[in-house]
Amino acid sequence: MSAVTLRPAGPDDAEAAFAMLRALAEAVGDAEAFAATVEDVRRDGFGPAPLYETLIAELDGRPVGLLTAFPTYSTNKGRPCLYVNDLYVAPEARQRGIARRLMARACRLALERGCCRVELKVLQNNAARKFYEAIGMGATAEVAYTIGDRALSDLATEDRSEQE
């Protein structure tokens, strides 16, 4: 049986992390919108002020999975939360419990940090929803909204009048 290990990623993992993030975007049909670069991953994931952290799963010493997460906060609970942004396991490494181990590690980190919950979003048509439900996660009644691109710029310009 092959050995699976988990570890925090470091700067030397930027290229492997980038490759897995790109593979995840392709797997969920978001390849055209994927605009990150290796430099973005290096700067924002491993630079002097990281914006997220990454866990790497290795199979026989080779990176085959990752989880990225960052802290959020529940003003309702008055406690921090951990938001899982990306969870990916390479196709050849699936069905070995790697995704479950990555999520278990994220949950352990959340508890160690006093978090009240671990959160994530998943596309409605993503088959991974069955996995998340199987590990005890439940869908919420919340609906996610986002603003970006031109709409983000347009709305942001409305704030200029107060700055003048």
- Residues 164, 24: Cα–Cα separation, whole Å: 43
142-to-90, 120, 121, 139, 145 alpha-carbon distances in Å: 30, 12, 10, 8, 10
What single letter denotes the amino acid at residue 157? T
- We report the CATH number of the domain holding residue 153 as 3.40.630.30
Task: Report the number of distinct structural domains present in the chain.
Answer: 1
For residue range 50-72, what is the model confidence (pLDDT) as tens digits?
A: 999 999 999 999 999 999 999 99
State the DSSP code for 90: -
- Residues 131, 100: Cα–Cα separation, whole Å: 8
For residue range 2-31, what is the model confidence (pLDDT) as tens digits?
A: 899 999 999 999 999 999 999 999 999 999
* Neighbour count for residue 8 (Cβ, 10 Å): 11
For residue range 59-114, what is the model confidence (pLDDT) as tens digits?
A: 999 999 999 999 999 999 999 999 999 999 999 999 999 999 999 999 999 999 99
DSSP conformation letters of 145-156: ----HHHHHHHH
Q: Could you list the residue range(s) of the whole structural domain that residue 109 is in?
A: 4-163
